[in-house]
Amino acid sequence: MKIGYIFAGQGSQKPGMGKDFYDSFDASKSIYDRANLALGIDLKRICFEGTLEALSMTEVTQPAILTTSIAMLRAFESLTSVNPVAASGLSLGEYSAHVASGSLSFEEAVKLVRKRGLFMQEAVPAGIGGLTAITGLNPIHYEDLITEASKHGKVEISNINSPKQIVIGGMHAGLKHAGEVALKLGAKRVTPLSVSAPFHTSMLKNAELKLETALKDIHFDEMKLPVVTNINGRLITSEHLIPEYLSKQVTSTVEWVKCIESMKALGIDTLIEFGPGSALGGFVAKIDRSIKVLSIDSIESLYKAIEIIEDNKPMVKAI
Domain boundaries, given as residue ranges, for the chain:
3-123+203-312, 129-195
Q: Among this protein's residues, is 200 annotated catalytic?
A: yes
CATH class of 129-195: alpha beta
Cβ–Cβ under 8 Å, residues 294 and 315? no
Percentage, residues of the chain above pLDDT 90: 87
Mean pLDDT of all residues belonging to the chain = 94
Q: CA–CA separation, 6 vs 270, rounded Å?
A: 10
Inform me whether the pLDDT recorded for 262 exceeds 90: yes
Q: pLDDT digit string (tens) for 152-180?
A: 999 999 999 999 999 999 999 999 999 99
The phi, psi pair for 6, rounded to 5°, reads: -130, 145
Domain 3-123+203-312 has CATH 3.40.50.150: no
The helix (run of H) or strand (run of E) holding residue 167 is strand 165-171
Higher-pLDDT residue of 196 and 41 is 41
Inform me whether the pLDDT recorded for 316 exceeds 90: no
Higher-pLDDT residue of 200 and 121 is 200
Q: pLDDT digit string (tens) for 52-65?
A: 888 888 889 999 99
Length of the chain: 319
The dihedral through the CA atoms of 233, 237, 239, 243 has a sign that is negative
Q: What share of the chain is helix, strand, coil (3-state, %, to 5)?
A: 50, 15, 35
Choosing from 98, 152, 177, 200, the catalytic residue is 200
Choosing from 88, 91, 162, 295, the catalytic residue is 91
Determine whether 128 is exposed, middle or buried from the number of CB atoms within 10 Å of its CB (0-12, 13-18, 19+).
middle
Q: Among this protein's residues, is 91 annotated catalytic?
A: yes
Cα-based torsion angle of the residue sequence 5, 9, 12, 15 in order, rounded to the nearest 10 degrees: 100
Cβ–Cβ under 8 Å, residues 29 and 65? no
Inform me whether the pLDDT recorded for 77 exceeds 50: yes
Inform me whether the pLDDT recorded for 318 exceeds 80: no
Q: What pLDDT is attached to residue 315? A: 42
Under 8 Å CB-to-CB from 306, ≥6 apart: which residues? 76, 79, 80, 316, 319
Inform me whether the pLDDT recorded for 313 exceeds 70: no
